[in-house]
Amino acid sequence: MSAGLAAVLTVVLAALTAALAVPRSAAARSRARLGRSPTTTTASTGPLRRRRGAAVLALASGSAVVVASAAVGGVRGAVLGTAVTIAGGTVVRIVVLHARDRAARRAQTEVARACGVLASYVRVGQVPADALVLVAADCPVLAEAAAVQRIGGDVPDALRAHAGRPGHGGLLDLARAWQVSSSTGAPMAPALEEVASGLASDESLRSVVSAELAAPRSTGKVMAVLPLVGIALGYLLGGRPLEWLVAAPVGWACLLVGLLLAAGGVLWIERLARAAAAGG
């Protein structure tokens, strides 16, 4: 019976991991690729492959915990192993998402700053190619494009390739401005100033959206912790809620369903907040 339950719980974990492993829908990925060159699309597949690899690793780790717990503690062990996996996996997922968001925001800020500095150099009469090399010394986000420029390569292609990384989407606008100026002979300073102004406005908007989304995210986390408050109240009233949750099938069902609902609620709120931030 314990082996069968462990198998069922492993399948449940696999389904949950598969659902969380897809960061965006296929339609969203298709929309994101519109207007990108093949170089940019190829560069953007790297993070997606890493996320899928992380999902496979998470599934394998969770399954191992469930199977090992079932081997040691039977059905109760499998249930407790699944509960630990759900709770721990949710915490790890939230921590990883927040770390990615912070890294992306830092990259967005750096791209906006680099474009602004580049525009100021060109505005005062610096040749764009020389300005790119000078700015790259202080703004590493442009280092690859500057290296390509030094060997006479295609700067817009280098910028597009870098734009596929999280938080570096602003480089795609810079690549377009550079390409148009190079192809038509139009002055690059106005185009760069427009790009820098747009990225600065986007940065301000992201700050506002992030501040507005802080409250819903905090509410979701507080709601997830409320069951622990209920357990504490149960002990204050003289009951033994934890013993009941781990003693019989009814308690096991309540424990797992409660954890799944809490984890699903937190992750869903986080997903909605991230979607709103991306749309903002």
CA Rg, the chain, in Å?
Answer: 25
**pLDDT 10s digit of each residue in the chain, 280 long?**
444 554 555 555 545 554 544 444 433 443 344 344 444 444 445 566 666 766 677 677 767 777 777 777 777 888 888 888 888 888 888 888 889 888 988 998 899 889 889 989 988 888 888 899 999 988 899 999 999 988 888 999 999 988 888 888 889 999 998 998 888 888 888 888 888 888 888 888 888 888 888 888 888 788 888 888 888 898 898 888 888 888 888 888 888 888 888 888 888 888 888 887 776 5
Say which amino acid occupies 69: S
pLDDT of residue 46: 57
Q: Return the closest-CA partner of residue 79 out of 242, 275, 234, 220.
A: 242
C-alpha–C-alpha distance, residues 148 and 155, integer Å: 6
pLDDT of residue 29: 43
pLDDT of residue 32: 41
C-alpha–C-alpha distance, residues 149 and 169, integer Å: 20
Interacting residues of 234 by C-beta distance below 8 A, sequence separation 6+: 240, 241
Take residue 215 and report the two structure tokens written for it: 């409250």
Domain borders along the chain are 2-279
| Contact present, 76 and 255 (Cβ < 8 Å) | no
Q: Cα dihedral sign for 260, 262, 265, 268?
A: negative
Length of the chain: 280
pLDDT, one tens digit per residue, over 57-116 is 767 776 777 777 777 777 788 888 888 888 888 888 888 888 988 898 899 889 988 988
